[in-house]
Structure formats: C-alpha cells, structure tokens
Amino acid sequence: MDTAQTAFNPFDPAALADPYPYYRLMRERDPVHWNGPIRAWFLTRHADVAELLRDDRFSADRTLSERYVAPPPGRGRPGKSMLIVDPPDHTRLRNLASKAFTPRMVEQLRPRIEAIASDLVERLARGRQADLIAEFAYPLPVIVIAEMLGVPARDRAQFQEWSSVTVRGLDPFVDAATQKAVFDARAALTAYLRRIIARRRREPAGDLITAMIAAREAGDFLSDGELVAMCSLLLVAGHETTVNLIGNGTLALFRNPDQLERLRREPALIRTAVEELLRWAPPVYWTGRVALEELDLGGRRIAPRQSVFGMLAAANRDPEVFEDPDRLDLGRDPNPHFAFGRGIHFCLGAPLARLEAQVALPMLLERFPDLRLAGEPESRPTVNLRGLARLPVAY
Ligand code: HEM
C-alpha cells in the first residue's frame, strides 16, 4: 500500500477491508490529517481524540459544519437529540434519560436479558447451523430496548428496516439516492414514534416513553420534537450497536482461537474480555465534532466550521497507550479504549451494552461448546457503524 503518494482516505475499499495498517500509517505520518475530497480532519492518535472529545471549542452539533447536508424542506424540523447538542441543552436532555441507564437500573434488567438470551439460544439449539446475526446478535438488543422504551417488539421488522437505513446517514459520504433513502427512513421512523407516543399518552405504561411524557408534562423540560428525537436515538442506538458488539466480538474470538479457548476455560474473564472486544473490534469507528472557532490541534490549524473526525478505532490501537495494540488479549487491564466515546457524550447505553454482551457471549459459548465459523461472514454496508450482515455458524 503506497499511501505516501496519495491522500489518506480511510474509506477507500482497500482501507475498509483492513483499516488498521492504514490507521497506523496515518498515525505515524499524518496524525491530524486533512482530507480534501471528504472535507474533514481525521485524528488517529489516542491523545488527539481525547482532546477532541474534551475541548468545548468543538461542538457536537453536526448541523454547524460547512459540510452538513440539510434535509429537504417541507418535512418539519425534527427536534435534536442529545447526541448532537451542546450544553446547556445537552445537560438537560441527558439528565432526563440518564436515570434509566445507571449501572444499578440496568443491573435490574439482568434477569430479563438472561431470559431473552436463553430463549434465543434454545431456538438456535433446535438446528445445527444458523446466521448468528439474524438469530441471536440482532434480536437480543432489539427486544431489550423495545421493551424498555415501550415500543411493541412485534413491530420489529418495520423499525429495523428504517433504523438500518437511518444509520447510513452517519457515513462520511453517501450518494444522492442513499441520502434520500436516509431522509425517508428518518421521516417514517419519526411518524411511527409519534403514533406510539400518542398511544402512550392515552394509555400510560411502566416504560421509558411514558416516563418521558410525564417529565415533559410535569415541567415542560423537553419539546415535542426533542421527545421524538430522544425516542428515536434510543431505539436506533439501542439496536444498531450492540448487535455489532456481539457479532464482531464473536468473529474476533473465532479469528483468535487461543483467546476463545481462554474464555471458555476462564469464564470469569468476561468483564475484561468484553472491554477488549470493544477495543479490538469496535461497533462505532469514529465520531465527529465541528470547530466553533479557529484553533490548533496536534500542530495543525483548524478553521471554524470544519468537521473533525475522531477515529475511535484508530485510537484504540495507539501503541502509545496500548501495549502490543494489534493483539487481542482478553485479560487486558486497564483498557482505556474509546469504543463508547469519552467526555460528556460518553455512551449513555454503555452499562446496558456491556451487560448484554456479558450475558450473551458466555451463554452462547456454554450452550455450544463447538461453536464455529461455517462460511464467509458478510459485512454491512455502513462504514462508521461497522458490523456484520451475516455470520454463519455451526455447532
Ligand atoms: C456496544 C454498543 C454501543 C456502542 C459501541 C456505542 C457507542 C457510542 C458512542 C461512541 C457514543 C458517543 C458519540 C459521540 O461522542 O459523538 C455513544 C453515545 C450514545 N449512545 Fe451508545 N453505543 C452502544 C450502545 C448503546 C445503547 C444500547 C444505547 C441505548 C439504549 C446507547 C445510547 C447512546 C446515547 C443516548 C448516546 C448519546 C449520549 C450523549 O450524547 O450524551 N448506546 N454511543
């Protein structure tokens, strides 16, 4: 790969197939890299990504970027979610949802998560091979988040489709047809959630949507648009990411049989194992910020309104921070990876995602002692949310 001659493009097909050698070159030769065609900066060093996520001269509001593509007019301005706003709005929105996602609250979901996982595993056990994504990695987080929110899990086929199209909008460049599909899917998902919210207003239940409606009505803490945006964010974030932790994580174990064996022998390793799988095969590859003013970062001058991408996956392999970074070591500790981001936008759902993986992976390995890869895995088309469309396994 001769990248010295060409601009680094972490999204060209060769780099996508195996981005890590590419990230290493970027980190060594041009760690704060300006990519002309994409019109964005790319950061590959752990320290620079940390700085990006800590410095409030960068905004999380992508709509401020000079490269932002606005949805066509006439669709009604959706509210903004916490993911793309700065304080004080961020603080207000995050506080509203955060009570439901504390480690203590999430721990209470353990029996339910175990029951769902066990049910899926027993269904798998009726056959001898399966697509692990469709039969296990996807349904588990979807059922969990749908139940938490109070969205009927039986509507899954519907919102799964919208959700998977919506997240293509997180990629750095999409063609016009995809961009239109993203806007359409977002509108359909929003309309669907508005119907669910209206129903919960009439028939309150013990779920998160009901709680947020109550909060809205008690103090007008959040606008109608923000309420929908919040539900949409939780629904999408709740099922487009953890599926990849379970899917990428299982594949990582197949590709590193010594570590798979190690986990089978020592199931108590599961906590550090999940962190290491998050570091080594993260579900989210980068996150973006927008410079609010002219500033210096890693020796380069960044202009106002330019987009800066923190490459989480690259930072996770920075040898300055991780010894022997390309090695999967399920006992690695400490493990300051960026799979969940850092700073005020640190993943709200991290305790939930961790618990789901800590339940799912050991259950799978225990029930199927000879679980193995049974064909070529297929990747999903998204390049930011990286995961598998299919993971054929036999057992
Ligand atoms: C392995 C699974 C997951 C990964 C890798 C992941 C990754 C991330 C990352 C990297 C961010 C920070 C984005 C940024 O700084 O711009 C984030 C934020 C967020 N995540 Fe997750 N996530 C996962 C699961 C979940 C789940 C299960 C939920 C909810 C049910 C969730 C809800 C959120 C929310 C609401 C935010 C925004 C937080 C804020 O802006 O303050 N995530 N996630």
**pLDDT at position 273:** 98
Tell me the three state secondary structure of residue 47.
helix
Pair 40, 172: CB distance under 8 Å: yes
pLDDT at residue 77, rounded to an integer: 59
Which position has the token pair 């890299």?
Answer: 33
Nearest C-alpha to atom 18 of ligand 1 is from which residue?
347
Spacing, Cα 233 to ligand 1 middle (Å): 9
Task: Identify which of 239, 238, 162, 167 has the alpha carbon closest to the alpha carbon of residue 193.
Answer: 162
**CA of residue 93 to ligand 1 center, whole Å:** 14
Helix residue ranges per DSSP H, the chain:
13-17, 19-29, 46-54, 89-98, 103-107, 110-124, 132, 139-149, 156-166, 176-202, 208-219, 224-240, 242-255, 257-265, 270-280, 312-315, 350-367
Q: State residue 3's pLDDT score.
A: 43
The count of C-alpha atoms lying within 13 angstroms of the C-alpha of 1, restricted to the half-sphere facing its C-beta, is 20
Cα–ligand 1 centroid distance for 337 (angstroms): 14
Instruction: Report the pLDDT value the prediction gives residue 181, as an integer from 0 to 100.
Output: 87
Report the pLDDT value the prediction gives residue 159, as an integer from 0 to 100: 83
Residues with CB under 6 A from ligand 1: 60, 82-83, 94, 145, 233-234, 237-238, 241-242, 245, 283-284, 287, 339-341, 345, 347-349, 352-353
Q: Over the stretch 337-372, which tens digit does the pLDDT of each residue have?
A: 999 999 999 999 999 999 999 999 999 999 999 999
Which pLDDT value is given to residue 5?
39
Q: Whose CA is nearest to atom 2 of ligand 1?
A: 242
Which amino acid type is present at position 135? Answer: E
Taking the centre of ligand 1 as the mean of its atom positions, its distance from the CA of residue 4, in whole angstroms, is: 35
Nearest CA to ligand 1 atom 40: 83
Query: What is the distance in A from the centroid of ligand 1 to the CA of 348?
Result: 6
| Residue 279 alpha carbon to ligand 1 centre in Å | 15
> Widest CA span of the chain, in angstroms?
63
Give 290 Cα–ligand 1 centroid separation in angstroms: 19
Give the DSSP H/E element, type plus range, for residue 286. strand 286-291
Closest by alpha carbon to 289, among 85, 94, 88, 92? 85
Instruction: Please name the residue whose Cα sits nearest to atom 3 of ligand 1.
Output: 241
Q: Could you tell which of 241, 250, 276, 307 is best to mutate to test the pocket of ligand 1, judged by most ligand atoms within 8 Å of the CB?
A: 241
pLDDT at 220: 61
Of all protein residues, whose CA lies closest to atom 38 belonging to ligand 1?
A: 345
Residue 2: predicted pLDDT: 41
Ligand 1 atom with the smallest distance to the CA of 239 is 27
Q: Whose CA is nearest to atom 23 of ligand 1?
A: 241
264 — phi, psi (to 5°)?
-65, -40
Q: Name the residue with the closest Cα to ligand 1, atom 41.
A: 345
The stretches in the chain having pLDDT less than 50 are 1-5
Q: How far is the CA of 347 from the centre of ligand 1 (A)?
A: 4
Select from 90, 151, 243, 347 the residue to mutate for testing ligand 1; criterion: most ligand atoms less than 8 Å from CB. 347
The residues pairing with 200 across neighbouring beta strands, listed in sequence order, are none
CA of 15 to the centre of ligand 1 (A): 25
CA of 349 relative to ligand 1 center, distance in Å: 6
Q: How many Å apart are CA 382 and CA 304, to the nearest integer?
A: 28
